[in-house]
Amino acid sequence: MSDAALPETCCPTVWVRLGRAAYLGPSLRLRAHSGSVHCFALGIDAPFTIRVDGAGERQVRSALIPARTRHRLIAEHGRMLFAYVDPGSAWVTDTSARMTSRLGPAIQSGHIDELGLARRLHDTPDPLAVLGLLHDTGDARDERIRTALELLRAHPSTPWTAAQVAGEVNLSASRFQHLFTAHTGTSFRRYRLWARMLHVAGAISKGLDLTTAAADAGFASPAHFSDSFRTMFGLSASHLLSRSTRILSA
């Protein structure tokens, strides 16, 4: 595989399905950021550098980055894959077991089949299928937490509080908050933002403009959406879309 075979002008694409999302395309020159769910990053054509405050930096071909872990990815050549997955998914557990090294206490790197994954993704139109994310039905989380996640994704524009969702699943607010963090690896507020981001992506794929999609998803203002997007992904939504990025959802 070479950069010549996959130029920087190849069309970037975002897939959104089943509460998961993936980006496959040219390097986006991301700033430091902190995701709301786990991210699996893979250099399709070349290694990339991952930098973590207090843990230094390392050149890797793949990394599994937990939710709420501030980091920066630097990719100078070729395409990148970013796959975003709920922390409680069986896929995350299985993938974590296949990583071979660590950078700091949280980030894992060196998937045992990273080159094989890169080869399979080289000409494949759907990375969620290649990674097995469309077939990942395992979920060891508490049933009440699974119900809460489904509720947030189904009704992203509702201004849910943790106490309100706790009542929907018959838990006290304090018990719900404890279980939510323990079973998802992220906070209620950050997952609520993630559910809204998924809704925005789906709405754009159906032809809505960014401002309308963000308002329909429950963001209080364009500035609220913009700040949340930059914090979560390390770039602005307008910059991502300015690269003629396709968004596909089901």
- For 120-164, write each residue's pLDDT tens digit: 998 777 899 999 887 766 677 889 998 999 999 999 999 999 999
- As given in the structure block, the two tokens for residue 243 are 């690269």
pTM tops 0.95: no
Backbone angles phi, psi at 115, to 5 degrees: -70, -35
The whole-number pLDDT of residue 3 equals 35
Q: What mean pLDDT comes out for the span 53-58?
A: 88
Q: 74: how many CB neighbours lie within 10 A of its CB?
A: 13
The whole-number pLDDT of residue 34 equals 95
- Three-state secondary structure along 187-233? CHHHHHHHHHHHHHHHHHHCCCCHHHHHHHCCCCCHHHHHHHHHHHH
Residue type at 71?
A: H
Percent above pLDDT 90 for the chain? 74
CB 36 within 8 Å of CB 191: yes
Between 86 and 223, whose confidence is greater? 223
pLDDT digits (tens, 9 = 90+) for 157-175: 999 999 999 999 999 999 9
Q: Residue 5: is its pLDDT beyond 50?
A: no
Which of helix, strand or coil describes residue 28? coil
What are the boundaries of each domain within the chain?
Answer: 13-135, 143-236
Task: Please give the distance of CA 169 from its chain centroid, rounded to a whole number.
Answer: 26
* Burial 107-122, CB ≥16 within 10 A → b, else e: bbbbbeebeebbeebe
The CATH H-level superfamily of 143-236 is: Homeodomain-like (1.10.10.60)
- As given in the structure block, the two tokens for residue 119 are 């080869």
The CATH H-level superfamily of 13-135 is: Regulatory protein AraC (2.60.120.280)
